[in-house]
């Protein structure tokens, strides 16, 4: 039987994997669709052919998988033993995705607030006092919330068609009146 084992010495070792172990594990993520996996592998092969370093290519694959699957929710990479792994650059990719999503929502909140600011400025230039405009704006904010909840309410004149404003948590109405006043009339 020992003689049979010596025959295995002539067998060449398997070829090296195309990507790093961590990239292979990321590509094995169960949340990644077959089409997305094929697309990522195709782009990765062209990046490798263009001379991108193996480590940078692995980092790119992990970021792309994290971005495709959805970041911190739903993305799991597995090692060869089936344990969930989270290499540092996958964690960085998750942070980047979360940050990008936060920047997008913050940009939307800023744009919505700018619409309110312009409307308030317009009403003040029409002769209303800043205090009166602010109280109407507060009434409009809460009326919009009640209207969104299904109640029949009238939005105060001048504030129709504006987007809803949210507080810092992104769900509830603004709670800090002093801060809201400063943001509407700065």
Q: Is 71 helix (H, G, I), strand (E, B) or coil?
A: coil
pLDDT for 10: 58
Q: What is the DSSP letter of 10?
A: G
Are the CB atoms for 60 and 89 separated by under 8 Å? no
Question: Which token pair is 8?
Answer: 């295995």
DSSP per-residue letters across 83-144: -EE--HHHHHHHHHHHHHHHHHHHHHHHHHHHHHHHHHHHHHHTT--HHHHHHHHHHHHHHH
Q: Which of 108, 158, 111 is nearest to 132 (CA)?
A: 158
Sign of CA dihedral 84, 25, 58, 94: negative
Q: Which position has the token pair 């010495």?
A: 9
Kindly report the pTM of this predicted structure.
Answer: 0.47
Q: How far does Cα 6 stand from its chain's mean position?
A: 55
Instruction: Provide block-wise average pLDDT over 10 residues at a time, the chain (186 residues).
Output: 50 66 78 86 91 85 79 55 63 68 73 90 92 91 86 88 80 82 85
Looking at residue 87, its pLDDT comes to: 61
Q: pLDDT at position 1, please?
A: 44
Query: What H or E segment, with its residue span, contains residue 177?
Result: helix 177-184
Q: Provide the pLDDT for residue 79.
A: 58
* pLDDT at res. 33: 83
Roughly how many angstroms between the first and final C-alpha of the chain, as a whole number?
A: 87
């Amino acid at each position: 039987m020992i003689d049979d084992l010596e025959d295995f010495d002539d067998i060449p070792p398997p070829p090296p994997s195309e990507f790093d172990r961590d990239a292979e594990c990321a590509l094995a993520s169960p949340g990644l669709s077959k089409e997305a996996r094929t697309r990522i592998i195709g782009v990765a092969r062209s990046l490798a052919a263009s001379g991108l370093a193996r480590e940078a290519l692995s980092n790119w694959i992990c970021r792309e998988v994290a971005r495709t699957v959805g970041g911190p929710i739903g993305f799991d990479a597995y090692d060869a033993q089936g344990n969930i792994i989270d290499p540092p650059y996958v964690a960085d990719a998750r942070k980047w995705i979360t940050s990008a999503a936060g920047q997008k929502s913050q940009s939307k909140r800023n744009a919505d607030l700018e619409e309110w600011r312009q409307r308030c400025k317009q009403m003040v230039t029409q002769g209303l006092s800043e205090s009166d405009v602010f109280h109407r704006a507060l009434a409009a904010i809460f009326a919009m919330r009640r209207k969104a909840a299904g109640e029949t309410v009238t939005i105060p004149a001048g504030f129709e068609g504006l987007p809803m404003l949210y507080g810092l948590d992104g769900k509830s109405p603004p709670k800090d009146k002093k801060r809201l006043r400063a943001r509407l009339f700065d």
